[in-house]
Amino acid sequence: MAAAAVRGAKQSLRAELKQRLRALSAEERLRQSRLLTQQVIAHSQYQKSKRISIFLSMQDEIETEDIIRDIFQQGKTCFIPRYRFQSNHMDMVRLASPEEISSLPKTSWNIHQPGEGDMREEALSTGGLDLIFVPGLGFDAHGNRLGRGKGYYDTYLKRCGQHQDVKPYTLALAFKEQICPQVPVDENDMKVDEVLYEDSSTCYIR
């Protein structure tokens, strides 16, 4: 597929997925989020991971708040994204507690994140990550991911490969409405190791 065709296919799939997500009721979002939280807590990769990066969820994403609470209850180290909006650069910076989230400044996407001048431990300079929870708009059964078009996670996962001997396990959290027959990809798109969603009984481990 030519680059322009891939771009076009991604744009139309993004529009379709956003529409599907808008149609989800708050109750249904909560129901699937609770179910996935249980799947995560029982997951062997989660249980053995010590250093975990997790996204703070937007309105149309699986709710991660209870997973974040569990990370702290289990004594694991929690990192959250800090996006640089004028580029596709993102760092994973350490979160001190779940309670601290609500006091962090909000971005233009309405997500809490530590400010640029807020000096925090950054995951790749202090030993890397064991597990990365990856957001996205759409996923397919081969671990292909459709992001929001900025390339933050693809770029970050490439950086992990340069900084760590063992690459982090990547686990996507999705509503079942986000699962697609096939996600269009180009050479810059990074696959995820596994997609968790309701009824997902298979792992996509490469």
Residue type, 148: R
Q: Is 120 part of any known ligand binding site?
A: no
Any binding-site annotation on 197? no
Q: Is 124 annotated as a binding residue?
A: no
Q: Which of 171, 169, 167 is nearest to 158 (CA)?
A: 167
Is 47 annotated in some ligand binding site?
A: no
146 is in an annotated binding site: yes
Annotated binding residue 173: no
Is 204 annotated as belonging to a binding site? no
Residue 149, annotated as binding a ligand: yes
* DSSP of the chain: --HHHHHHHHHHHHHHHHHHHHTS-HHHHHHHHHHHHHHHHT-HHHHH-SEEE-PPPPTTS---HHHHHHHHHTT-EEEEEEE-TTSS-EEEEE---GGGGGGSPB-TTS-B---TT----BGGGTT--SEEEE--SEE-TTS-EE--SS-HHHHHHHHHHHH-SSPPEEEEE--GGGB-S-----TTPPPPSEEE-TT-------
Q: Is 50 annotated as a binding residue?
A: no
**Residue 13 marked ligand-binding:** yes
Pairwise CA distance, residues 199 & 196, whole Å: 9
153 assigned ligand-binding residue: yes
Between CA 17 and CA 21, with CA 20 as vertex, the angle to 5 degrees is 90
Annotated binding-site residue? 11 = yes
- Ligand-binding site membership of 10 (annotated): yes
Ligand-binding annotation for 49, yes or no, is no
Positions at the binding site: 10-14, 56, 61, 145-153
**Binding annotation for substrate:** 56, 61
Q: Which residues are annotated as a binding site for ATP?
A: 10-14, 145-153
